[in-house]
Structure 1
């Protein structure tokens, strides 16, 4: 029976989630502001030297100002309290204009602590050799920020700081200071003595476009120079393993007390998960989500949300700033968070079952184990085609895969092993011949002990998959937090057939792999059969001895 629609009063009670110190209030409802900050001086400097869209002095909105105050907060020694930050907002909120202003502050403004004045307030000065970078994984993203900068600079600003303006490079103070746009090449970033870096649209920074390498390089440069970086992002798509996703997960660990706070400022407003996508609800919720961005017209956004050519999940990410999976995704991050077993380690001699799904060139190859005693999953091996030029002509290193299987039998007590036979028939026959007699349960779907042809029986595969889903939703299965297994699992899409719910990639040619999830399903099915009909066997000798 369908749930009754929420009333206007119930919708109004669905308060957004406010993340970050920007949104903290005291017991009297007043905003909690940092005790010591360069932000007030910076706001005055911006009003004096920078120009708003209407030609008047630049003025931060109250929401923007609170963020600036916290970003430039300092401790008693004058060091910034935040080493890095993330500003996550709905599409159109104005992240690029705000960060364009901050880039100019970092280029010429009072962005560094100098001393304490007679009243005990911090005084800022410009960095004498400022090197500011606007980074992204493609040129259009850096253009979003760089194109705004010329209109922000007043004639007085250009004269005072001797500005040499360009599309991708702006020089100041006789060339001593620079602001530049950098895209895609992490090697071009390596070793640069940057003083501030803007990471633009990190929800697009993924393995395939070297986004992870860029992030690691930027962090390394900042650490070496004792400088800072700030990322701006929309709500990311779970499972893409983007830099935005990794930064959010790192922040959540800090928030949950599972990791040390290393000076990480995260700022976001996200609609309540139960917010309906109805015109009535959006008229109430959107003004809360947009904050001070009054230029965003609710009725126009409502028209976009109600456009059936745009998926509901995408509308939620863009306009409600919600981190949600695609509609046909089997799982969301919340399901995997519930089965996370951080710190789990697979030890030599542990009793395990294994699953294997093999590819040849484009598809990944995965070997996954589940420990019998606690149903905790571990990736024993994952071989994926590299992105870019390194992937040209790549084939799965079969010798390495074969060695990983033999190592698993040598190191662990393997009770059962199911392997999809596609493209790997000869290897699976060899593994069966070598280890089959020592297994406590043999595959019911093949003439040998290990082979399990996922193509031969849709009914068997579907039933096996539904058993895996039940174990995940019932939180019986756990995993050690392996990022690749998480990514492949979140990539899996729902496929309904006459027997129930199966799974697949989002499309045949999709680069988002699910092979580790397939291997997990086979390992889980092996465990199911082991518990249902497994036999006791004596430990193996020879090549497959137990440690």
Structure 2
């Protein structure tokens, strides 16, 4: 970024800069240089920079060593602040569930006590006003400040009419808002719009399903989806009661019975199961009900899971799926928050120990994937009506 800015400015000539691919220095050989640094905290220990620019630090998270790197850079700068050394961080609004460097800085007492300058422009708008053109435009103008290059008209059109992006994403990246809701996976209004109380699920319907199992910490559930119209329903859920003791466990025999009952009640064409804790049981289900119907689906594989999560989210936004309004499924879906990884967006609980479970949301994602694969395999029986004339 700095290399591009300098190469298009008078600074190259005025200061006699040699702008290389990996280093910027003076052509005369005088001391001083600008170097990009990778997020490797240990190899940067002991350096003595006079200025450090930390860019996009909402992406500096534990998985890429960001917080450790930040601490190293900060220590190096702090050793020479009396000589004028300084650091600056630039960032978008951070995700409150990732513990990024941007969040660490914002929540630091150094900011609250006024020792670090924290400057931020946020657009003042609520999610409920995201369809109001005047409110959207005013919030964009507020958030972008004197950034004259911003296409306010284009951004306004996108926010008002592009339904492929969640409103929470616009709040974070366009309005620069930091809020717990900014990481919510599903917009309640969009989920509610997929409710359908007509054409109920009936015994004998062709379905696919998703299974996510646990023993103690999380819930265990099964969600089905009808092949012909993508209508979701809860087959069963085993969730820790509110006042249960620490020794509470999922009734594994009840889970086994529910699976067998499901196969006896519906025409189950495809079942995706997340294997942890139930791998042996899943193997038995495949033997008993067909290994061409029961399959393992490891949700800890981010590439595959991110694609599945994206397909489910898109299906909700364009109303390509329906649900019965089951409170349990809705609660789990709306509890889910997003986590950004290099492969895309995953869903998770709002914290590892959270009691706000999301297991049925995972089941629903697997069920929709199972439906797609069942249809692709040619298993959807199309009902044809006969017209008889007299």
Q: How high is the TM-score relative to the length of structure 2?
A: 0.52
SS at match of 1:327: helix
Shift of 1:466: 1.3
Given that 2:329 and 2:360 are in contact with CA atoms closer than 8 Å, whether structure 1 keeps it comes out as: yes
Equivalent residues in 2 for 1:314-463 (5 A)? 326-388=181-243, 390-437=244-291, 439=293, 449-455=294-300, 457-463=301-307
CA contact (8 A) 2:219 2:237 kept: yes
TM superposition shift of 1:533: 2.7
Q: Is the 8 A contact 2:269 2:379 kept in 1?
A: no
Alignment of 1:58-457 (within 5 A): 272-273=129-130, 274=132, 275=135, 313=179, 326-388=181-243, 390-437=244-291, 439=293, 449-455=294-300, 457=301
- Partners of 1:387 and 1:430 in 2: how far apart? 32
What displacement does 1:387 show? 1.1
Q: Is the 8 A contact 2:222 2:237 kept in 1?
A: yes
Structure 2: which 5+ runs fail to align? 1-126, 143-176, 382-390
Deviation at 1:473, TM superposition (A): 1.2
Preserved CA contact (<8 Å) 2:209 2:272: yes
Query: Contact (CA 8 Å) 1:385, 1:391: kept in 2 or not?
Result: no
Q: How does 1:459-538 map to 2 (within 5 A)?
A: 459-534=303-378
Change over 3 Å in CA distance of 1:416–1:505 after alignment to 2: same
TM-score (norm: length of structure 1): 0.37
Which consecutive residues of structure 1, in runs of 5 or more, have no partner in the other structure? 1-269, 282-310, 315-325, 440-448, 538-547
Equivalent residues, number: 218
Pairwise CA distance, 1:392: 3.4
Q: Distance in 1 between matches of 2:199 and 2:217?
A: 31
Superposed CA RMSD in Å reads 2.6
Alpha-carbon distance change, 508 to 341 in structure 1, aligned in 2, over 3 angstroms? same
Does the 8 Å contact 1:352/1:415 carry over to 2? Answer: yes
Deviation at 1:532, TM superposition (A): 2.0
- Structure 2 vs 1, CA of residues 345 and 535 (structure 1 numbering), >3 Å: closer, same or farther? closer
Separation in 2, partners of 1:391, 1:344: 40
- Structure 2 distance, partners of 1:405, 1:271, is 41
| Preserved contact between residue 431 and residue 450 of structure 1 (Cα < 8 Å) | no
CA contact (8 A) 1:361 1:395 kept: yes
Question: 1:438 Cα deviation (Å)?
Answer: 6.0
Q: Which residue of 2 aligns with 1:231?
A: none
How far 1:332 sits from its partner (Å)? 1.7
